[in-house]
Structure formats: C-alpha cells, structure tokens
Amino acid sequence: MAKKIDNRERLIFAMDVPDCNQAKQLVETLDDSVVFFKLGLELMMTDGYFDLMDWMLKRNKKIFADLKFFDIPATVGAAVNRLQNRGASFVTVHGNQAIMEAAAKNKGKHLKVLAVTALTSLDRGDLDDMGFACDVGDLVLSRAKRALEAGCDGVVSSGLEVPQLRKNIDSQLLVVTPGIRPVDNKESEDQKRVVTVKKAFKNGADYIVVGRPIRDAGNPRNAAEEIQSSISECF
C-alpha cells in the first residue's frame, strides 16, 4: 500500500554541484517543479552548506542531508543530534547496528534516519573486492532488516532490490531509490544498478533520487516536470 506522501515530494533532486551559488541557481531554475532536494558531501565541503539549507527551507523546500555518517556510535549520534534541529527531513547513515541505533536515538521528532544498504555504484565485482561473498540482494535485505530493528525510518536501496524488501520487511519502512534514469540507459557510467522512474515505483519505492537527467538537461525544469508526470501516472 502506498504511503500518504505528496506525489510532488516523491521526486528528490540530487544537488550534486560544486558550490552553493550554483545550487541556488538550480533551485530558482527548477522553481516549483521540485520540492525535495538532496544535499550531499560535495556541497558539505564548500562554504555555506547550512546557509544554503536555511535559504532553501525559507522557500518551502525539503532537504535530504545525504552525508552518510560513519564513525563510532557516539560521534554519529552527536552529529545526528546536531542536525535534527536544522530542518532537514532525511539524513543517511552507514555502518553497523550500534551506529544505526545511535543515529535513531538522536533523530528527534522530525528528522528521519535512512540507512544505506548497498550503493548503486556497486556491482557483484565491487562487492567481491570489498569482501562481501553474499548476493547483493541478500546484503540489502539483511541491512534493511537490521536498520528497522535499530530504529531507523528507512533505507536507501537500488530499485532492483525493492521488491525483495517489500516482500520480507514491514511495509512502513521508507525506501528511497537512487540510480534513476527516465528511460532505460545502457551507457557506461558510475551508476551500475539503475531502474526507470516507473519501474522504481512499481517495485515499491516511496521516493526516487534523480540527478544528472535533470541537472544536465537542456531545460532542467521541463525535465523535472516530465518526471513528475511519470510519477503521477504511478499513483
């Protein structure tokens, strides 16, 4: 069963740009075609990350702080606690049970913690290199179960593994799916486990994260609106 989420908020735009001025320009260009924005590590390493966040919140935008916290539990818990008063809606964490539990205990009333399962840039060969002998789907399912047990609100997962999550885990688990392409994309790139917009939602995703197909389009706003139209057809 689909959760009660405004369909316009199901599209999260990945704001992967080098500086905050470019980010603000994109917000203004996209206007009301995008409500939800992902601010990641690249912007975090520039001046003005939180000023940008405040600027966007004043414009009624929602923020996904994709910072993938990974450190000792006490440090991750303290970082999440500091973030929970800044107005972000989502934050990502990496790591083991204790790390996820620390994040969940410090999220406050409004911030939702998402556990990263397996990055969409990884394939079977990459997992072998990292020492994971299990199937990608089994790894994602295991991490998602542990995240829910730890008190996290959801996970970040490729759309390829979402059907397995929906079959085996509480339906209230939020699933955010990156690696989205508006159409089937066979080109070589750093995203290896990708799905289309409609496939992601058919598989059971709650939100999708889209970056380059919008950012690099000739008309980013039109590209975003086309994706919004595809989303509306799914619900």
Number of CB atoms found within 10 A of residue 167's CB? 9
Q: What is the value of pTM for the model shown?
A: 0.90
CATH class held by domain 7-232? alpha beta
Q: Could you tell me the CA-to-CA distances from 87 to 56, 63, 90 in Å, in that order?
A: 10, 8, 9
Cα–Cα distance measured from residue 72 to residue 95, given in angstroms and rounded to the nearest whole number: 9
Q: What is the pLDDT of residue 167?
A: 93
Q: What percent of the chain clears pLDDT 90, i.e. is strictly above it?
A: 74
pLDDT of residue 186: 46
Cα dihedral: 230, 7, 64, 155 (round 10):
-80
Low-confidence ranges of the chain (pLDDT < 50): 121-122, 126, 185-191, 193
- Tell me if residue 58 is catalytic: no
Q: How far is CA 122 from CA 126, 129, 148, 171, in A?
A: 6, 10, 23, 26
Supply φ then ψ for residue 90, to 5 degrees. Answer: -130, 150
- Domain ranges for the chain, please list them: 7-232
Catalytic residue among 62, 68, 109, 198: 68
